[in-house]
Structure 1
Amino acid sequence: MKLSTKGRYGLRALIDLAQYSEETPVSITSISKRQDISERYLEQLMSMLKKAGIVKSIRGANGGYILARDAKEISVGEVLRALEGSLEPVECAGLDPRGGCQASESCVTKYVWKRINDSINRTVDDIWLSQLVEEGRNTPCDDKDRSQCKN
């Protein structure tokens, strides 16, 4: 499974938002500068996250974005699904309850795909945004990899 820039950048932006929106809304411009992600791309990502109910936008001179819920209530899985869609690396019609695979009855590989899919979903659903924020506070900055920097 390989995540696109939507998932990678969106998660970084959301961690940044969680770190900086405790007091006031955070602007796209400030996230863009700290994370080195274009404002235009961030606007697209925030729109997707807003539609999924993960962030809220605040209008006005001091406007920006805030989390729609506490960071302890937002899983990495929820964020990645909002940005990427399904996280399943293998789509198997044999696992679809509506059917669709002629070989489903005799196919044993569907059990491999199910375990892989379940494992990925369980892993990302067990990581919370608040955990990543805390981890970020404990990670020193390495200029070569800005995603690891304290902001």
Structure 2
Amino acid sequence: MNSELTIAVHSLALLANLPDHMASSEHIAKNVCTNPARIRKIMSMLRKHGFVRTKEGLGGGYILDCDPREVNLAQLYRTVSCGTLKPQWCTGDPQDSCPVSAKMHSVMDQIFNEAEEHFTRYLEQITIHSVLDKIRQS
């Protein structure tokens, strides 16, 4: 799995927690502890899917464009990192005469696909608002 989901959740939680719900990519990057270019890439995906909008010019930045009580982490996962549970490379060779080597790739594909379904269903239960609640309680 990559870190895009964590960055997306962190960024939206930060925007939801700000009084005016707006922040520059530099402000978000500093809070997330990454670089602004990475934030802009992820925020661009979030903007395309209606989670944030942008304000241009002096004092501009990203503005939350969704209700944190209604946005769940599965929606964000599908937006920024769906399919990342499965590694890019898998052992085995489908042309091999050994049944373990020949079937390992398809078996692992099935396992990762099922894990993805379970993970997504779990993430559907968690909203940006509930993440903020957990932050405030700890």
Which residue identity does 1:43 align to in structure 2?
Answer: R
1:54-69 alignment to 2 at 5 Å? Answer: 54-69=51-66
Q: Percent identity?
A: 21
Equivalent residues, number: 120
Contact in 1 for aligned 2:51/2:64 (Cα 8 Å): yes
Provide the rounded CA distance (Å) in 2 between the counterparts of 1:31 and 1:133: 16
Provide the rounded CA distance (Å) in 1 between the counterparts of 2:114 and 2:131: 26
Contact in 2 for aligned 1:11/1:79 (Cα 8 Å): yes
Which residue in 2 is equivalent to 1:28?
Answer: 25
Which stretches in structure 2 are left out of the alignment for 5+ residues? 88-107
Which residue in 1 is equivalent to 2:13?
Answer: 15
TM-score (norm. length: structure 1): 0.67
TM-score (norm. length: structure 2): 0.72
Which residue in 2 is equivalent to 1:143?
Answer: none
Which stretches in structure 1 are left out of the alignment for 5+ residues? 91-108, 140-151
Provide the rounded CA distance (Å) in 2 between the counterparts of 1:36 and 1:13: 11
Contact in 1 for aligned 2:2/2:84 (Cα 8 Å): no
Q: RMSD value over aligned CA atoms?
A: 2.6
Deviation at 1:28, TM superposition (A): 1.2
Provide the rounded CA distance (Å) in 2 between the counterparts of 1:87 and 1:79: 13
